[in-house]
Amino acid sequence: MSDVVENAPAAATGSVRRSRDVPMLVERARAGDPRAVARLITLVESGDEVLPQVAAALAPYAGQAQVVGLTGSPGVGKSTTTNELVRALRARGHRVGVLAIDPSSPFTGGAILGDRVRMQDHATDPGVYIRSMSSRGHLGGLSAATPQAVRVLEGAGCDVVLVETVGVGQAEVEVASLADTTLVLLAPGMGDAIQAVKAGILEIADVFVVNKADRDGADATVRDIQGMIALGERGPGEWRPQVVRSIAARGEGIDDIAAAIDKHRGWLEQHDELRRRREARAAAEVEAIALGALRARIGSLRDGTELATLAAKVAEGALDPYAAADELLAQLGG
C-alpha cells in the first residue's frame, strides 16, 4: 500500500507532502514515487487551486489504464475481493491502482479503516497504489474528483485501476459512468437481487459477483439474477451481464471474476464501446467542471447587485423567474 502520506517519516517526505509544485510532483509520480502520487491525489481530492494545472499535466496519460469499478452494499465483500483481484493482477505483472471511495461521509470513517486492513496484503508492494477518498472539500463532489484521481494513477503507470464504492444509490451509477467495466457484488440472503432492480443496478452491471457463496442461498441469488438478466431486452451483439460466484475471503472464484472482466474488455474493444464509454465519461467530467465554474460565478454575482436587482423585480411581479434566470445567464456569458 503506497498511501505513504501516513506511513513515511515526515522529515524525509516533508517537501513532497506539502508541495504545490505540479511539474515536480508529476515528474516524480511518473517515476513511481508513491509520495508524489499521494500528494497529487490529495490536491485533486481537496479541489486545490492548482487542480487545473494537475489536470493539464496529466492529460497526455488519459486512457492508459483499464478502469474497473466494484460496487455493492456495505459489507458485501468489495474490499476483500479487491484485495484478491490485486493479487491476481500482480501475478500477471500489472501495476495496479486502487481507489476506495466513501461517498456517504465527508470525513474518513471506519469503513475506510476496514478497507486498509483488508488490503494490507499489498502494503509493501511498490507496484500497488491504494488510496481512500472522501468527498470532503471538493466542489464537484466525488464524481468530479474521481476521474482526476484515476488520471494520477494512470500517470503513475498503473495498467489497471480498481475503484471501490459503497453502493448507496446514485454513487453506484456515478462509479459506473467512470469505469470501463462495472462489477456489482451481491451476497446471499441480503435481498440484494430485489434491491438491485430497484436501484437501477441491473443497467450498470457488466458482471454480477455473488460473493459469500459459502453461505446458504447462493444458488437462489444466482438464479434470481440470471432470471432478471433473461428478462432484459438485448439487441444482437449487445453485452449480456455475466454472473460469477466467489468466496473472496478464501480467494475462491477470483480467476472467474478476472476472466469475466477480460471477456467484457474484449467485447468493449470489439464493439468500439470502450471509446464510446470513455467519451461519455469525458463529457460528464467536462459538464461537471463547467457546472461547478458556473455555480461559482453565479455565487459571485450574488455578491454584486445583478441578482439582487433581478430578485427585486421577480418579487414584485415585474419579471418572471425564468426570464430573470435568462438575464442572469446572459450576464454570465458577457
Smallest separation, CB 65 to Mg ion (Å): 21
Smallest separation, CB 126 to ligand GTP (Å): 24
Smallest separation, CB 24 to Mg ion (Å): 33
User: Which positions from 106 through 125 interact with Mg ion, judged by CB under 5 A?
Assistant: 115
Which residue stretch of 107-115, 149-157, 198-206, 310-318 sits at the interface with ligand GTP (rule: CB under 6 A)?
Answer: 107-115
Q: x/- contact string, 156-175, with ligand GTP (CB under 6 A)?
A: ----------x---------
Smallest separation, CB 102 to Mg ion (Å): 9
Q: Three-state secondary structure along 219-280?
A: HHHHHHHHHHHHHCCCCCCCCCCEEEECEHHHCECHHHHHHHHHHHHHHHHHCCHHHHHHHH
* Residue type at 102 in one-letter notation: D
- Position among 29, 247, 260, 310 found at the interface with ligand GTP (CB under 6 A): 247
Residue 146 dihedral angles phi and psi, to the nearest 5°: -60, -45
Choose between 58 and 142: whose C-beta lies nearer to ligand GTP.
142
Which residue stretch of 29-37, 87-95, 110-118, 136-144 sits at the interface with ligand GTP (rule: CB under 6 A)?
Answer: 110-118
User: Which positions from 198 through 217 interact with ligand GTP, judged by CB under 6 A?
Assistant: 211-212, 214-215
- The CA-CA-CA angle for residues 87, 88, 90, to 5°, reads 65
Query: What's the gap between Cα 109 and its chain centre?
Result: 18
| Residue 141 binds ligand GTP, judged by CB under 6 A | no
- Position among 32, 47, 114, 251 found at the interface with ligand GTP (CB under 6 A): 114
| Residue 79 binds Mg ion, judged by CB under 5 A | yes
Choose between 228 and 247: whose C-beta lies nearer to ligand GTP.
247
Smallest separation, CB 207 to ligand GTP (Å): 16
Choose between 83 and 148: whose C-beta lies nearer to ligand GTP.
83
What's the number of CA atoms in the CB half-sphere (13 Å) around residue 89?
29
Smallest separation, CB 225 to ligand GTP (Å): 16
| Residue 76 binding: pick among Mg ion, ligand GTP, none (C-beta 5-8 Å cut-off by kind) | ligand GTP
User: Which positions from 3 through 62 interact with ligand GTP, judged by CB under 6 A?
Assistant: none
Q: x/- contact string, 76-95, with ligand GTP (CB under 6 A)?
A: xxxxx---------------
- The CA-CA-CA angle for residues 291, 294, 299, to 5°, reads 125
What's the number of CA atoms in the CB half-sphere (13 Å) around residue 176?
21
Residues 6+ apart with CB under 8 A from 317: none
What secondary structure does DSSP assign to 175-224, as a single string? HHHH-SEEEEEE-TTSSHHHHHHHTTHHHH-SEEEE--TTSTTHHHHHHH
Residues 6+ apart with CB under 8 A from 294: 332
Question: Among 112, 103, 2, which Cα is nearest to 45's?
Answer: 103
Query: What's the gap between Cα 330 and its chain centre?
Result: 35
* Binding stretches for ligand GTP (CB under 6 A): 74-80, 111, 114-115, 118, 166, 211-212, 214-215, 247-249
* Binding stretches for Mg ion (CB under 5 A): 78-79, 115
